[in-house]
């Protein structure tokens, strides 16, 4: 495996773990009526590679599932990133 591929895999794992945790933190804060993580940050984490973590966070934490920009946006970002990854690996 090439060094660039290893770096990409490590990055994707890390950003998805971070994104999943951030979605959980935001859900916890929502339940406690505390300061929230901006939606732009949550979506931004998905855009920079954390779409799997965002999707899992939505499912596990039952968070942002009714917001259209998350309900439809996260799956679209995920599909686009999978397509880019397949294209890049070929």
- 66-77 residue pLDDT tens: 889 999 999 999
**pLDDT tens figures, 1-52:** 678 889 989 999 999 999 999 999 999 999 999 999 999 999 999 999 999 9
pLDDT given at position 36: 95
- pTM, entire model: 0.91
Question: In total, how many domains does the chain have?
Answer: 1
Q: What residue numbers bound the domain in which 20 lies?
A: 3-89
Alpha-carbon distances of 46 from 1, 51, 57, rounded to whole Å: 26, 4, 11
CA 84 to chain centre: 16
């Amino acid at each position: 495996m090439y060094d660039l591929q290893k770096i990409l895999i490590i990055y994707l794992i890390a950003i998805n773990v971070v994104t999943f945790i951030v979605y959980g933190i935001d859900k916890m804060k929502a339940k406690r009526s505390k300061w929230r993580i901006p939606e732009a940050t949550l979506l931004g984490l998905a855009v920079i590679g954390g779409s799997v973590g965002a999707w899992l966070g939505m499912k596990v934490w039952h968070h942002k599932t009714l917001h259209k920009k998350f309900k439809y946006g996260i799956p679209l970002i995920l599909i686009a990133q999978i397509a880019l990854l397949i294209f890049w690996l070929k």
